[in-house]
A and B are shown apart, each in its own frame.
Chain A
Amino acid sequence: MAQGGLPHPDPSQTPDVHSAVSGALRLGVTVSLVLLAAAVVAAALEPPHRASGWPSVIDPATGSVRWPPALAFAGLLVLMATPILRLVVAIVCYWRSDERVYAWIAAAVLAVVLSSVWVGLRAMPKRGERPSRQVSDAANGAYASMMHSSRLQFSQTSIRSVSCTDRTTFKGRFV
């Protein structure tokens, strides 16, 4: 414990946090990379008529699995889980290395992130749905918060207008 009221460890004495977090990242990135590469190859080989319309995992005509979107969604899911995994790994490592204040800080960050996810899930209207005024206002607030997280730069857009007007999908270039 040292100046400033925070633990002041020698970084050379706690190398396991960096290597463990880096290892967790490598695992998540490698798995998602393989799945996404397989999805892109499968999409490139997919017959053009099957790529039309909004891509769903189950083919509505035949009831069979469409592998390109299935692999893509799986890869994206692993990708989104990777930052959560690295936070959990950091919590465990800091807890075990007796730097428990950082374990608590990491846990607080994880709690805030999961709370934001929960709020976003409640506020975000499903694609194609017309949200109520109340939901729309909540979504706009959440949207402003999300823009912070996503680190994007573009003019603010109302979720209401997006969900009501954006019926077109990105499909033309792939068929």
Chain B
Amino acid sequence: MSPSDLGVILAIALAAGAFGAMLGLGGGIILVPALILLQGAPRTEAVAASVVSVIATSSAAAIAYVRDHYTDIRLGLILETSTAVGAVAGALLAGHLSDRLVAALFATLLVSAAVSLLRRRDEEAAVAIASETPFLEGSYTALPAGETVRYGVVRLREGLAGGLLAGMVSAILGVGGGLVKVPLMVLRMGVPMRVAIATSNFMIGVTAVATAVPYYAAGYVNPYLAAPCALGVLIGARTGARFAQRSRSLLLRRTFACVLLYTAYTMARRSVAP
């Protein structure tokens, strides 16, 4: 392995891990195109390395997120049940629905979520849901100030329905569920942005196992590519988690909204592509 190639792969993986951990996404949005374009990796091997790296992102970031109570494990488990069912339903429906129509609808949904994330603030959302009875309560210590933030999670049914939808859309279009679940938790369930990111991060590692093991067993994982990727992501994700814990919620919201808008753009292009 040449040192320059090793350095490039590790740098890509560090960035992908930090980015994924910071926003509660897998990091595949960076890893797959970068490995293909910068390293000339075949698509299958890039995807396989990325799938394994999603687990690395989730596990490395979750050490700090879970320890510091940013991750709402109960909420994550509840949402994961409906998302998993939605994914199975989406896989069954994939051949019977118009890919373009779903992509167009999804792009609209993402733009709407991005605009809401940019316009609303945590404090406003908290006031809006204060009158509702929470089905879960949690708290975390906000860094760097060290203040304890308490929150209540509301609208269980809406969350389960949203998780189901997220799973279906993700299965049909191949986009990450974190893109749907983070805005869902923040905008509709009263979950603070940092908790939503940490909880999404926790969930993606569990579900990514379902993808990674078949890739691994079928021989698509190239160890010379996946090992440095996973190593870089493990290190980058811990850095990204620390940054997310200390950064302002507004910055995370704006960055996430940009990712939503970018994804909406790619979905819109897909819906009109010949």
Q: Do A and B assemble together?
A: yes
| Chain A residues with a Cβ under 8 A of chain B | 3-6, 8, 10-12, 17-19, 21-22, 25-26, 28-29, 32-33, 36-37, 39-40, 43-44, 46, 51, 54-55, 68-69, 71-73, 75-77, 79-80, 82-84, 86-87, 90, 102, 105-106, 108-109, 112-113, 116-117, 120-121, 123-128, 140-142, 144-157, 162, 166, 168-174
Q: A43-B223, A84-B209, A128-B219 are known contacts; what are 7 more A-B pairs with Cβ within 8 Å?
A: A32-B230, A68-B227, A102-B77, A150-B211, A152-B29, A156-B173, A173-B2
A18 to B195, CA, bound (A): 14
Q: What CA separation (Å) do A90 and B71 show in the bound complex?
A: 13
Listed A/B pairs (20) with beta-carbon separation below 8 Å:
A8-B137, A12-B139, A18-B69, A22-B62, A26-B63, A36-B227, A36-B231, A43-B227, A69-B224, A71-B227, A76-B52, A105-B77, A113-B84, A117-B214, A126-B219, A144-B90, A150-B50, A151-B170, A151-B176, A155-B174
Contact B84 A109 (CB under 8 A): yes
Q: Which residues of B contact A10 (CB under 8 A)?
A: 137
Select A150's contact among B33, B90, B139, B208, beta carbons within 8 Å: B208
With CB as the reference atom, state the residue of chain A lying closest to B156: A4
Known: A90-B73, A152-B174. A11 touches B39 (CB 8 A): no
Cβ-defined contact, A151 with B42, below 8 A: no
**Residue pair A51, B207 in contact (C-beta under 8 Å):** no
Interface extent on B, as a size class?
Answer: 35 or more
A39 to B72, CA, bound (A): 34
A83 B208 Cβ-Cβ under 8 A: yes
Known contacts A80-B212, A150-B28: does B217 contact A121 (CB below 8 Å)?
A: yes
Binds A, one of B91-99, B116-124, B249-257: B91-99
A120 and B1 within 8 A (CB): no
Docked-complex contact A152 and B207, CB < 8 angstroms = no
| Contact among A18, A25, A148 for B177, CB-based, below 8 A | A148
Mark each residue of chain B from 43 to 65: 1 if its CB lies under 8 Å from any CB of chain A, else 0. 11101001110111011101100
Q: Which residues of B lie under 8 Å from residue A102 when comparing CB positions?
A: 73-74, 77
Give bound CA distance, A33 to B230, whole Å. Answer: 8
Known contacts A83-B55, A151-B54, A162-B44: A174-B224 contact under CB 8 Å: yes
Contact, CB under 8 Å: B77 / A106: yes
Tell me whether B26 and A150 are in contact (CB under 8 A): yes
Contact (Cβ within 8 A) A153 B174: yes
Alpha-carbon distance between A150 and B208 when the two chains are bound, in angstroms: 5
Interface pair B95/A152, CB less than 8 Å apart: no
Which residues of A sit under 8 angstroms from B91, Cβ to Cβ? 141-142, 144-145, 148
In contact, B45 and A11 (Cβ under 8 angstroms)? no
Interface status of B21 (Cβ within 8 A of chain A): no
